[in-house]
Amino acid sequence: MGGAFGENGRDAERWADEDGCGWCRRRLPAWCRVTQPRESQPLLRVSSLGVRYGNGVRALRDVSLDVRRGECVAVIGPSGSGKSTLLRCVNRLIRPTEGEVVLDGARITHASGRARRTVRRRGGMVFQQFNLVQQLPVIDNVLLGWIGGAPAVGRCLAQFRRFPAGAREQAEACLARVGLADRAASQASQLSGGQQQRVAIARVLMQDPEVILADEPIASLDPASSSRVLTLLREICDERGVPVLVNLHQVDEARRFATRVVGLNAGRVVFDGAPGALATQQLERIYADTPAARTAGDIDMARTDRVPQGVVA
């Protein structure tokens, strides 16, 4: 396995300065590292990724993807094409059966135990159903983004909703960034869906991730809220250079908000390019009739919010 902790002096020095992965303050094990300087490689490199689930379903086949800082990548494709599986691999929620994922110089594919928890924190997840603790105040939900990277004593005190003043200030700033400073004390359940999704984004900001992974973040939202959520994700991407991978069923939204679109069909990348290059022919290929696409048809008939827009039948 190549390169432990920097074969050249500059690399080793940089890692030593940053004490591991930087924001979570935990040093990744040496075997996790690759040696190239970060500047010369994409922030996220997915190489020949394959996933076969225990039931034999091949969810991803030979997926390769380089994502650079500041890229906002919309992943589109029919239901069952492997979009969520891809995000879960990047976040190390599942372990791929083939290939490798390297995030900011760290091999995350085979991380386990503590290293796996560390790499998970490097990807901030935004979910369709927001995943907020409904009975907690909004500010506490945002603070949950801090807990994973906090020292043990901080995590202990957090169980009693006691947080350091610095963390609270940071959480307030994150809430302000998503336009919800005035709702800090509200119970999460009192917010609309769009507002809850913005709280979930504030929680991700609190986590200070190296990549943001959003799995159908607008599937439960009305058009106005959807637009606001996607605008926010794009702005964060532009402001901080944090790349965003967002799974979408809405082709029009992918065109409007992404800097790049990746199309999956039956677990393979069949399109990877600029939104402007996504014409009828490409869409037909992405949504081509496969077993996965046929399943998508069934689901889409039942859930009109998931019918891909702009797709030629």
Ligand X SMILES: Nc1ncnc2c1ncn2[C@@H]1O[C@H](COP(=O)(O)OP(=O)(O)OP(=O)(O)O)[C@@H](O)[C@H]1O
- Which spans of this chain sit near ligand X (rule: CB under 6 A)? 53, 55, 57, 59, 77, 79-85, 292
* Member of 84, 195, 207, 250 binding Mg ion (CB under 5 A): 84
Residue 55 binds: one of Mg ion, ligand X, none (C-beta under 5 to 8 A by kind): ligand X
Report the nearest approach of ligand X to the CB of residue 30 (Å): 32
Are 262 and 269 within 8 A, CB to CB?
Answer: yes
- What does the alpha-carbon distance between residue 155 and residue 151 come to, in Å, rounded to a whole number? 6
- Part of the chain binding Mg ion (CB under 5 A), chosen from 6-14, 80-88, 202-210, 303-311: 80-88
- 80 vs 105, beta carbon nearer ligand X: 80
- 142 vs 296, beta carbon nearer Mg ion: 296
- What does the alpha-carbon distance between residue 96 and residue 62 come to, in Å, rounded to a whole number? 11
Report the nearest approach of Mg ion to the CB of residue 164 (Å): 36
- 84 vs 225, beta carbon nearer Mg ion: 84
Phi and psi for 65 in degrees, rounded to 5? -155, 130
Report the nearest approach of Mg ion to the CB of residue 82 (Å): 8
Interface with Mg ion (CB under 5 A), residue total: 2
- What does the alpha-carbon distance between residue 253 and residue 74 come to, in Å, rounded to a whole number? 9
Residue 80 binds: one of ligand X, Mg ion, none (C-beta under 5 to 8 A by kind): ligand X
The string over 236-275, giving b where at least 16 C-beta atoms fall within 10 Å of a residue's C-beta and e elsewhere, is bbeeeebbbbbbbbbbebbbebbbbbbbbbbbbbbbbeeb
Closest CA to 25 of 120, 118, 143, 102: 118
- 12 vs 311, beta carbon nearer ligand X: 311
Determine the residue type at 160.
F
Residue 195 binds: one of Mg ion, ligand X, none (C-beta under 5 to 8 A by kind): none
Residue 81 binds: one of Mg ion, ligand X, none (C-beta under 5 to 8 A by kind): ligand X
Parallel, antiparallel, or unpaired for β 260-265 and 72-76? parallel
- What does the alpha-carbon distance between residue 27 and residue 18 come to, in Å, rounded to a whole number? 9
- 131 vs 189, beta carbon nearer ligand X: 131
Tell me which residues touch Mg ion (CB under 5 A).
83-84
